[in-house]
Copies of this chain bind each other. A is one copy, B any other.
Amino acid sequence: MNGAEALLRTVRAAGVDLCLANPGTTELPLVAALDAVPGVRAVLGLFEGVCTGAADGYGRMTGRPALTLLHLGPGLANGLANLHNARRAQTPVLNLVGDHATWHVASDPPLASDVESLARPMSGFVRTSASAKSLASDAADALAAAVGPPGAVATLVVPVDAQAAAADGPAPAPRPRAARMPDDAAVAAARAALESGAPVLLLLGGSALAERGLRAASALAARTGARLATDSFYARLERGQGVPAVERLPYFPEQAVSWLSGFAHLVLAGTRAPVAFFGTEGVPSQLAPPSCEVHALAGPGEDAAGALDALARQLAAPSVAVPPRERPAPPRGEGALDPASLGQALTALQPEGAIVVDEAATSGLPYALAAPAAPPHSVLALTGGSIGQGLPCAVGAALACPERRVVAFQADGSGLYTLQALWTLAREGLDATVVVCANRAYRILRVELGRAGIAEPGPAALALTDLGGPALDWTALSRGFGVPASRAETPAALSDALARSFATPGPSLIEAILP
């Protein structure tokens, strides 16, 4: 058994069953091992950001790490942007990055680079295996770091000679660890805040946004008058009919500061005190007012849902029935589409149990407001702000949950960074509906130019924020990658296209033309 096979058997025994790969010459022993070791599905991405973003989506839906298999420093580099999002989502991911044979590195061959320096900013664990003998135990260590809790991106650099040489067999799989319950003092402080009578915000993240956490939080809210919110971006949220709704912190910092200004206490469950996405002159980085007392009920690696549950029991907060919400009808208008009709159509038509990967950016707000009236579904958001996450994440979510429909709700500018994901949707026959919000601009930058006081951008600023000239044809791009596609210019056409896509197995893309 060579090092590659020993590595793969080690992680397989620990439950790893997916490898998102874009390999090259230095990863061929691992490629061969994927045939020798049963149970690890190999899925090809045409670009590394597809692999890493898919690993993020897979990890968010299963709680388990997928492998990525990447080709030296440049291959890893291509995957870093989506690893950045995975790191911020605390998603478990195990990157395997091939490298030159150990004896060849000193000659500085053309593809050599400092892989660890590249990996470190986006990884909680980085190691280079020294030899075939250590590959399996290195992989076990990396896996332990990846699963946490909290989940983390772990990067193991695997020289090709270590993959190919004889090994001693697999290493013991790491023992899974459960998330810790927070200590009594943290629970007591949160309880005191909730019972203080002063205005309290319960800010939820991580497992607090799963159904159990949301039910406990809403019971606490009903019992104490606390308000519930999420960060602007979260790793995964359960939403829809029967699921308690939470508000979302505004994205722009001055709005968030205003929104948070009345709270005397901030209780954190599965997240941290909110920070401005970008710094804005005259607006503080920390968005909660200085007078607000911050209580960390459950921090990273702690069981946020369990802590909320325990607190609800302590306070004898009975669970609260969620009243039915009126679901809108599919829009039938023949005028122009806009974000509101887009949100209405999705809410009206999305099937039960959908997984919505939301990278719709400026086109997404009306849908987010309407979607609690849709059937229960999961939402995955852009935790790290590194755009180009949506389509790859949709690939991973669909691989994780083949029985659920994935909806990639996708801004056009962001989608172009990693559009190669469409091909993997087609190759694997994944049940995904891609809705491209085609406003043909980096709209957020137009907004930000205005906020920066540039009321009348010059030709360079306009050119650098405009995606028309030539207009992109997403239906052609989609068909080029093997995904059937259509264009919708009216609410009625969009409703028809969505209904058709949801009723048809496999992927399809709808280009929704927005003003």
Contacts and interface: CB of A to CB of B under 8 A. Distances in A.
B452 A417 contact: no
A34 B385 contact: no
A28 B460 CA distance: 11
A176 to B, nearest CB: 27
A125 interface: no
Interface in A112-171: 113-115, 117-118, 120-122, 160-161, 164
A94 interface: no
A454 interface: yes
A460 B24 contact: no
Q: How many A residues are at the interface, by size bracket?
A: 35 or more
A85 to B, nearest CB: 8
A101 interface: yes
Given A73-B84, A474-B480, A452 B29 contact: yes
Q: How many copies does the complex hold?
A: 2
A279 B160 contact: yes
Contact of A277 (B34, B42, B111, B476): B111
Contacts of A329: none
B278 A46 contact: no
Interface string A31-44: 11011100000101
Given A111-B385, A285-B103, A35 B427 contact: no
A217 to B, nearest CB: 23
A13 interface: no
Contacts of A278: 25-26, 100-101, 104, 109, 111, 160
A335 interface: no
A458 B32 contact: yes
Interface string A53-80: 0000000000000000000011101101
Given A35-B457, A472-B481, 9 more contacts: A31-B460, A31-B461, A77-B80, A78-B388, A103-B285, A111-B278, A111-B384, A472-B480, A477-B481
21 contacts: A34-B458, A42-B464, A44-B466, A46-B413, A74-B80, A77-B78, A78-B388, A88-B110, A101-B281, A104-B276, A107-B286, A110-B277, A111-B385, A117-B120, A118-B121, A160-B278, A161-B279, A164-B281, A476-B476, A477-B480, A477-B481
